Structure 1
Amino acid sequence: MTTSRTLPMTVPAQDLPAQVRIHEVGARDGLQNEKTVVPTEVKAEFIHRLAASGLSTVEATSFVHPKWVPQLADAEDLFPRLADIDGVALPVLVPNERGLDRALALGARRIAVFGSATETFAARNLNRTVDESLAMFEPVVARAKADKVHVRGYLSMCFGDPWEGPVPVHQVVRVAKALMDLGCDELSLGDTIGVATPGHVQTLLAELNEEGVTTDTIGVHFHDTYGQALSNTLAALQHGVTTVDASAGGLGGCPYAKSATGNLATEDLVWMLDGLGIETGVDLDTLTATSVWLADQLGRPSPSRTVRALSVR
């Protein structure tokens, strides 16, 4: 495999951030849907390759019960294999205090909790109501902050729910503000089934700002079910958001929402940001080669359009 030197022409647009931090989720959110268990050594090499591409944040794994996500049952084995990665944040997902205990025991210094803006998804994903899930997160966040651990709050179903339909903006704002009031350092807004459109994105961001959730604490996490992930990302950038979640090669979806297709591909995002002259620190050739390598490990081509365009077999 070789990669083309084709690069987008850089034409900056007005009123966009100079720099964006990509929160890479491929190794956790991307792989958790794989039906065949990926060997731990492959996961470790994947994360090392992602770090070598220039990504500053690579979400490593999840300390959930193996019964719920068998793909990530090797968290205790995997995380120590990443100890030689310097200068790259390696957050891990924790569902509860037991998960936090496991993560802290291995030296994790960045964690994430995963909530829902809708009752149906909270029941299906967490077996709790929305408020019960917030109560479960409260001691997790408090203990993490007491130990000076960075906490990210994921909020799913921010734009639409496959069972409940469109989700009112005020409903999302209430849960988002509650997560931040627990003490989260950062909030990731999830378009779990990919139904968001740019006006909806900017309206939600504006409403969050009005309720005191500042733009510098917000990240966006778009799925590309209806081909809107990049346009929604651009809308968020125009609002001032500088943290964008993406998954190398477009891996992943949501195991609890069957209508959800893949995450925004990191390569597609980097191509757009490079063309806009927005700094990411990511080398697109190295990242593309990584996704092609992983696709070979998984036995199928990458769904990322940019990976397909740049890859020559």
Structure 2
Amino acid sequence: MPGGRGQLGHDLVASAPLDGLVHAPSSAELDLTDGSVVADAVASFAWSARDGGLKPVVVNAAAYTAVDAAEADEERALAVNALGPELLAAACREHNVPLIHLSTDYVFPGDADRPYEPDDETGPRSAYGRTKLEGERRVLRTWERSWVVRTAWAYGASGANFVKTIARLAGERETLSVVDDQRGSPTWSLDLAEGLVSLACLAVRGGPAARVLHATGGGETTWCGFARAILVELGEDPERVRPCGTEDFPRPAPRPAYSVLSNASWVAAGLRPLRPWREALSAAFASRAVP
């Protein structure tokens, strides 16, 4: 599992049904842009799994996720987000290993008025989105036993994320200004990880017919609404969060105004939908997974 030390990778390891049988290298341990390294890693994993009587599955949770930095570093982002997954798909094809590749809501233009379905027209507005879309295309073109799972607004116990940032700022400032004109679906990485484990179990048996799926927390909100919910979980007054517009926080990379993803494809594949985002946030705080 490339990206094994990241936010989702951490929870995938925790969600694995059998201890000690997950290989989760970090980006420092596995350079996805090096074809020979990727080929050797997949071969070793496939052989060791089969020696133990198991059916291997590769989950690619690695990515160049520095959205703003990618605007000036698109070549590197393309290498990690597109070339790397293509090399990984080729290695998985060589050993007949199913591949689950993680992608993002940023592949869409963000101008919809209803949740995006997997087959809706894409149109990324940022370098990050363009490189992730190219990665999807290369993976699906290279290996027929591959599935792309798009998700959004993820947070969890490992790494930096919006929940941790808001919790920290709430302890430093009287009021917080958070954009209220971007809509999406917060997704607890542990819920997503458990869903991906279920998908992996399907993949070794042939997998769902649809090769692109969406998986996010149920429902939708704005970043401001998300921040207010975080303050509620912290036992703080949510009115300390003040709404503002995207124009108040100019960034190098444009953000989607609307990036809600429909989970209909996920359910149609026979997978349990991720729980509603607000319920998941409460569960994450109750389990002390965040902040």
For the superposition of Structure 1 and Structure 2, which TM-score range results when normalised by the shorter chain? Answer: 0.3 to 0.5
TM-score by length of 2: 0.39
TM-score by length of 1: 0.37
